[in-house]
């Protein structure tokens, strides 16, 4: 049986166009995955002022978004097992 040393394989490989495309697609997915939470953090002071929200109400909105993510994970995880992870990731993005 042949042994493969992962650090040796990675050290000897060249960074090509394929690797750049994989990196860019992963960056795209990660960026837009966390965008909603980041924008809530930026916009919550303005929402509190404009809509006259209390800190408890603003915290509730953040909690509801996390609850929505949990529900989405419970729905899309089995769907990814049936349809394939790449298709479901594309649907979610």
The pLDDT averaged over each successive group of 10 residues in the chain (93 residues) is 84 88 90 81 91 93 87 94 91 82
Record the tokens describing residue 75, joined without a space. 């729905």
Query: From CA 76, how far away is CA 92, in angstroms rounded?
Result: 9
Buried-exposed string 18-43: b where 16+ CB fall within 10 A, e elsewhere:
eeeeeeeeeeeeeeeeeeeeeeeeee
The pLDDT value given to residue 79: 94
The pLDDT value given to residue 35: 82
3-state secondary structure of 52: coil
The pLDDT value given to residue 41: 85
Q: φ, ψ for residue 14 (rounded to 5)?
A: -100, 145
């Amino acid at each position: 049986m042949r042994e493969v040393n992962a650090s040796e394989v990675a050290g000897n490989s060249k960074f090509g166009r394929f690797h750049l495309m994989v990196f860019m697609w992963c960056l795209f997915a990660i960026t837009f995955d966390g965008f909603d939470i980041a924008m809530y953090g930026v916009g919550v002071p303005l929402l509190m002022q404009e809509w006259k929200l209390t800190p408890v109400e603003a915290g509730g909105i953040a909690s509801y978004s996390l609850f929505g993510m949990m529900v989405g994970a419970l729905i899309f995880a089995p769907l990814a097992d049936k349809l394939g992870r790449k298709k479901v990731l594309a649907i979610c993005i």
